[in-house]
């Protein structure tokens, strides 16, 4: 059965700072997003890869695709929030029958951040297989820090037992019909404030969501120093 991927890449990278959104920052001369696309493109069981970028970066993305010879990529316009970018990416499939876009609706869709360039096939396969079985699945990681809740005056209210909690990461995977329906049913509030696709699938489609212990390869570039770390990883492993 078919598997496609949607890469949200429409953010502006506020936490990283700087004029260029992090997905277009050069790592050893090559844009970060190109490494992520390459990681997915190398997997032959992923048919189409849809990248959602903001309007002003569509030409940049197209030139990256051409320069690095990326294949099976479709570029769509992103949205003001991550959810809106993902929704735009999903919409291209079913609507393809009406438009000139030749993409076929997949059975399973992977959602993966454009700024997680080191994701490995094993992790992707695990979330896809779990999504087929349960409807939805997402990678999780152990917490690095203990989570605390502060009271209104800024003092410690309580702290959570770290070993009982996990950080929700990417990739996630869904039966296409489930996540598509969830996005169609959800409210503007969800689209504007949330960041978690599993949550939407659970809330609107009452699906099961299987959590998969991921490996460190799905780590996300968020802050400036993550770029230096990513360059080092590329030097060591990819080049």
Give residues in contact with ligand CTP (CB under 6 A): 8-16, 21, 23, 52, 78-82, 85, 113-115, 220, 222
Residue 38, both tokens: 């390459």
State how far the Cα of 125 lies from the Cα of 137, in Å rounded to an integer: 11
Q: Tokens at residue 53, please?
A: 């970028």
Nearer to ligand CTP, 3 or 114 (CB): 114
Closer to ligand CTP by CB, 98 or 191: give it. 191
Q: Which residue is nearest to ligand CTP (CB)?
A: 11
E strands along the chain, which residues? 3-8, 26-27, 30-31, 46-53, 73-77, 108-111, 135-142, 148-150, 156-159, 166-175, 208-213
98/106 Cα distance (integer angstroms): 16
CB of 28 to ligand CTP, least distance (A): 20
Nearer to ligand CTP, 23 or 34 (CB): 23
Tell me whether residue 132 or residue 220 sits nearer to ligand CTP (CB atom): 220
For the bound state, the minimum distance from the C-beta of residue 197 to ligand CTP, rounded and expressed in Å, comes to 11
Least distance (Å) between residue 22 CB and ligand CTP: 6
SS3 150: strand
Q: Shortest distance, CB of residue 155 to ligand CTP, whole angstroms?
A: 28
């Amino acid at each position: 059965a078919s598997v496609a991927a949607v890469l949200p890449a429409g953010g502006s990278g506020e936490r990283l700072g700087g004029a260029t959104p992090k997905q277009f920052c050069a790592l050893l001369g090559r844009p970060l997003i190109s490494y992520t696309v390459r990681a997915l493109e190398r997997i032959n069981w992923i048919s189409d890869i849809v990248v959602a970028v903001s309007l002003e970066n569509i030409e940049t993305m197209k030139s990256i695709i051409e320069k690095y010879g990326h294949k099976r990529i479709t570029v769509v316009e992103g949205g003001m929030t991550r959810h809106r970018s993902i929704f735009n990416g999903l919409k291209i499939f079913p609507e393809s029958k009406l438009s000139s876009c030749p993409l076929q609706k997949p059975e399973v869709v992977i959602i993966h951040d454009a700024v997680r360039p080191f994701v490995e096939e094993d992790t992707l396969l695990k979330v896809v297989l779990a999504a087929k079985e349960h409807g939805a699945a997402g990678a999780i990681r152990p917490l690095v820090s203990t989570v605390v809740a502060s009271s209104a005056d800024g003092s410690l209210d309580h702290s959570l037992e770290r070993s009982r909690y996990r950080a929700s990461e990417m990739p996630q995977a869904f039966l296409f019909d489930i996540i598509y329906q969830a996005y169609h049913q959800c409210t503007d509030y969800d689209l504007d404030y949330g960041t978690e696709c599993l949550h939407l699938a659970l809330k609107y489609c009452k699906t099961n969501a299987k959590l998969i212990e991921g490996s460190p390869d799905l780590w996300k570039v968020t802050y400036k120093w993550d770029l230096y770390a990513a360059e080092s990883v590329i030097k060591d492993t990819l080049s």
